[in-house]
Copies of this chain bind each other. A is one copy, B any other.
Amino acid sequence: MEKSIAEMRKDAVKIFNKGVYAVEPRRAVKKFCRRDRDYFYAGSRKFHLPSIKNLYVIGAGKGAAPMGAAIEELLSDFITEGIINVKYGHKTRLDKIKLVEAGHPLPDKNGEKGTKAIFELVKDAGDKDLVLFLVSGGGSALLPMPVNGITLKDKQDTIALLLKCGASIDEINAIRKHISNIKGGRLAKIVHPAPIVSIILSDVVGDDLEVIASGPTVPDSSTFFLCADIMAKYNIKDKLPPSVFQHIKNGLANKNMETPKADDPAFSQTSTLIIGNNMEAITAAKKEADDMGYNSIILSSMIEGETKDVARVHAAIAKEIHKTGNPLPPPACVLSGGETTVTIKGSGKGGRNQEFSLAAALDISGNDKIVLLSGGTDGNDGPTDAAGGIADNTTLIRARNLSLNPHDYLSNNDSYNFFQKLDDLLITGPTNTNVMDLRVMIVA
């Protein structure tokens, strides 16, 4: 296979697009849920539709509207009522299900209103009813419902305080769940005794169900005691909003306030169906690469860490493929996914995927043919209109011809402007899905 850099770049984009296409919400729902006359199949579960008294569709997330559309196409005549919270501007035309536009990533009053409406809709559901809960990326911020006495502002101040203390994401989630009416398994309790099926498009590394939308329908492994430990560890008793401190104190004294645990009967009626995740996208991308004739491997769908260093590891693998044919011989396609972080030190414009490609470009320069594409599956990398960036072994030469210093752009976190000038941005437009990032590395 003698491909030019231009052809390899086209292949990388095609492979990326196949990955995204595989997790398009509407198609993803229909891949795992189907209707056969009077029966509704959701994964391995089967429901006899005429036997259901009320069928409620609730949900939240950036891709939840098209998921709702797919459910309406399958079940419209049987849906009693539905409410889904979506991010502003993420509306779709729906028939039975009401969409509530709300704030993301910062929750707002509209989110609270929508969540309250969802709560009211399902709180009296009975064992003859069925609740379908559609969740995608952003589900946590779009389902705000702090417990009585705690305002949305109290909650946000609490999380800001914890972040400032250097609390881990697990610690933040423990507190978040313990001041919510919905999260940490509480939605399962509200809906009980009605069965609830959570249909999930996962944007979480490793698909941890306790983390996705803060786990409204799964048992919570954290406790009020842990929350108290966290308060003590960071010595924030006096800095927390009084309402939050008081609620945790009350929770320590009153067992009934604890989030539901694995032995709670509510969980006998819950089931979870992941209809799309990062690995689903990677697997589809791999199939495309294989069909194109590349040797391919999936490195991991769970890649985390500082973007520019993760990029260097990828570049090191590309160079090794050239030099010794390890871990696989060229023409090779290496795929990875997950979500990296960027420690922002500059004032430029960019996103983790564009920064990934820029950092990789520095290490692959001077090598023979290598193309490295990194893109967000939602089509939206950081605060830019690009999904990501595409680097290759000629990137640095082309940059030099335009008098661009890639080191300067990288240290200023200005990857967008770097790739824009080279015409190497990956632009897809909004994809209406989100299963984190997808990286395609081609070595010929």
Contact = CB atoms under 8 A, between A and B. Distances in A.
Interface in A34-76: none
B317 A309 contact: no
B312 A305 contact: yes
Given A297-B327, A313-B310, A302 B279 contact: no
Contact of A300 (B301, B306, B320): B320
B320 A301 contact: yes
Contacts of A316: 299-300, 302-304, 338
Contact of A306 (B297, B309, B327): B309
A206 interface: yes
Nearest to A286: B326
Interface residues of A, number: 29
A319 interface: yes
Contacts of A326: 297-301
A410 to B, nearest CB: 12
A363 interface: yes
A256 interface: no
A302 B367 CA distance: 13
A297 B326 CA distance: 7
A401 interface: no
Interface string A150-189: 0000000000000000001000000000000000000000
A403 interface: no
Contacts of A300: 313, 316-317, 319-320, 326-327
Copies in the complex: 2
Nearest to A297: B327
A324 interface: yes
A317 B305 contact: no
Nearest to A325: B298
A277 to B, nearest CB: 11
A301 B323 CA distance: 10
Interface string A313-346: 1001101100110110000000000100000000
A299 B279 contact: no
A198 to B, nearest CB: 20
A279, A302, A306, A316: residue with the most chain B Cβ atoms closer than 10 Å: A316
Interface in A268-303: 279, 297-303
A298 B320 contact: yes
B320 A302 contact: yes
A308 B304 CA distance: 11
Contacts of A309: 305-306, 309-310
Contacts of A327: 297-300, 327
Contacts of A323: 206, 302
Nearest to A314: B313
Given A319-B206, A327-B327, A303 B298 contact: no
A287 to B, nearest CB: 13
Interface string A17-41: 0000000000000000000000000
Contacts of A319: 206, 300, 302
Contacts of A320: 298-302
20 contacts: A168-B407, A297-B327, A299-B316, A299-B327, A300-B313, A300-B316, A300-B319, A300-B320, A301-B324, A301-B326, A302-B319, A302-B323, A304-B316, A304-B363, A305-B309, A305-B310, A306-B309, A309-B310, A310-B313, A316-B338
Q: Which 6 A-B pairs have the closest CB atoms?
A: A309-B309, A305-B312, A305-B309, A300-B320, A298-B326, A300-B316
